[in-house]
């Protein structure tokens, strides 16, 4: 897995936003548990829908206010999937009346004119199905005076097997819309608790359905290769190790399992961030040249993918700079090999780019 060079520029300066999904049929107690977990992990968004057929017996007006209160207390912004037919469930006649409920993002499907959409965007961030935005829509919104920085293109999740999108399709759609100013969102499947009735995962990208236990890899891939600025868990819950990874991603780093030679254990003390001018061949730490100790040449050998190296005194002013090889590289007498990324974490290296950090664990 690699990132096409032509796509890298989009994410410079961007930090992945993370999100969860909440379903009224899951029950208030479980939703509040998920909100607490998400809040503790620094998650920014929660998505919910007000027109899911399976959610019978839901008291939306009461339950949405309870959910909003929990999200507000947890610091999460709630994205609500609404349509004209769902306003009655909330006891309002116009979507603008939802402003006082604390909802910050509304996902619009059908039934809103360009003028209505632009008016709604003055009160909320508006979210659309990314796959259904047409050139005609864009022209109409422009004519109505739209500010596309208030618009978000969110890809669907797909409960039915083999119906989700390819990563390439997601990237092509997002490239076009981000150039106009849209933010972009997508979903990866959960694993600990899947949402019914099919319980086969809720991904945007079909390939991710088959690797539900690779939550971190799926999120990184959807962000860097799929160009989704926000990545949400589509299902109800994930395993604790995945929550730990989400917490790290929310702080702009990845926990990377490594072996480091004891005499170089000092490189574990900080989070290393890849340079914004990211190399396809190596992860290059922005922080590591702060090490002031003299580093003499030793441990010089070939650098297989995952090798962690530190520039020695022969590299002059670059002494102390830490690198991790993304690919197999030759030996260099100016580089000391100080450690190795664990084989099971090697696949993350190609996605840790352009300001994203690593913490050695």
Stretch(es) of the chain classified as CATH 2.40.100.10: 256-360
Domain span(s) for CATH 3.20.20.70 in the chain: 5-251
Residue 328 reports pLDDT greater than 50: yes
Q: What is the pLDDT at residue 93?
A: 79
Q: What pLDDT, on the 0 to 100 scale, is given for residue 52?
A: 65
What is the rounded distance in angstroms from the CA atom of residue 230 to the CA atom of residue 36? 19
> What are 48-76's pLDDT values in tens digits?
987 665 566 667 777 888 898 999 999 99
Q: What is the pTM of this model?
A: 0.90
Answer left, alpha or beta for residue 56, where phi above 0 means left and psi between -120 and 50 means alpha: beta
pLDDT tens-place string over residues 272-316: 999 999 999 999 999 877 766 789 999 889 999 999 999 999 999
* pLDDT tens readout for residues 208-230: 999 999 999 999 999 999 999 99
- Using CA atoms, how far apart are residues 354 and 330, in angstroms rounded to an integer? 24
Topology of the domain covering 5-251: TIM Barrel (3.20.20)
Cis amide linkage into residue 197, ω under 30° from 0: yes
Q: Is the pLDDT of residue 166 over 90?
A: yes
List 324's β-bridge partners, or say none: 283, 308
Query: pLDDT over 70 for what percent of the chain?
Result: 92
CATH of 256-360, one of 2.40.100.10, 2.102.10.10, 3.40.50.300, 2.60.120.560: 2.40.100.10
The mean per-residue pLDDT over the stretch 85-90 comes to 72
Range 302-317 burial, b when 16+ CB lie within 10 A, else e: ebebbbbbbbbebbee
CA distance 328 to 281: 8
CA distance 323 to 236: 38
Q: Provide the pLDDT for residue 172.
A: 96
Residue bearing tokens 């995952």: 306
Rounded Cα distance, 137 and 62, in Å: 35
């Amino acid at each position: 897995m690699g990132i096409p060079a032509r796509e890298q520029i989009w994410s410079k300066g961007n930090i992945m936003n993370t999100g969860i999904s909440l379903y009224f049929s899951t029950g208030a107690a479980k939703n509040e548990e998920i909100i607490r977990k998400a809040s503790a992990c620094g998650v920014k968004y929660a998505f919910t829908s007000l027109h899911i057929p399976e959610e019978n017996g839901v008291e939306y007006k009461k339950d949405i206010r309870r959910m909003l209160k929990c999200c507000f207390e947890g610091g999460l912004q709630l994205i609500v999937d609404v349509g004209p037919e769902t306003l009655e469930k909330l006891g309002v006649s116009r979507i603008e009346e939802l402003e006082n409920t604390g909802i910050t993002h509304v996902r619009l499907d059908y039934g809103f004119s360009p003028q209505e959409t632009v008016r709604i965007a003055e009160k909320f961030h508006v979210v659309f199905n990314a796959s259904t935005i047409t050139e005609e829509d864009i022209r109409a919104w422009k004519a109505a005076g739209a500010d596309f920085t208030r618009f978000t293109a969110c890809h669907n999740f797909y409960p039915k097997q083999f119906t989700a999108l390819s990563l390439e399709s997601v990237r092509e759609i997002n490239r076009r819309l981000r150039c106009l100013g849209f933010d972009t969102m997508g979903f990866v499947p959960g694993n600990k608790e899947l949402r019914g009735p099919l319980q086969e995962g809720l991904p945007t990208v079909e390939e991710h359905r088959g690797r539900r236990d690779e939550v971190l890899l799926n999120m990184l891939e959807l962000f860097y290769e799929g160009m989704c600025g926000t990545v949400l868990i589509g299902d109800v819950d994930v395993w604790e190790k995945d929550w730990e990874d989400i917490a790290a991603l929310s702080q702009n780093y990845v926990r990377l399992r490594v072996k480091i030679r004891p005499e170089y254990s000092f490189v574990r003390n900080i989070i290393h961030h890849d340079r914004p001018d990211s190399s396809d061949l190596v992860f290059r730490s922005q922080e590591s040249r702060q090490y002031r100790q003299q580093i003499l040449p030793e441990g010089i050998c070939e650098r297989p993918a995952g090798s962690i190296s530190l520039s020695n005194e022969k590299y002059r002013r670059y002494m102390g700079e830490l690198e991790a090889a993304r690919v197999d590289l030759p030996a260099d007498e100016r580089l000391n090999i100080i450690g190795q990324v664990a084989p099971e974490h090697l696949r993350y290296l190609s996605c840790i780019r352009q300001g994203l950090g690593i913490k050695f664990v």
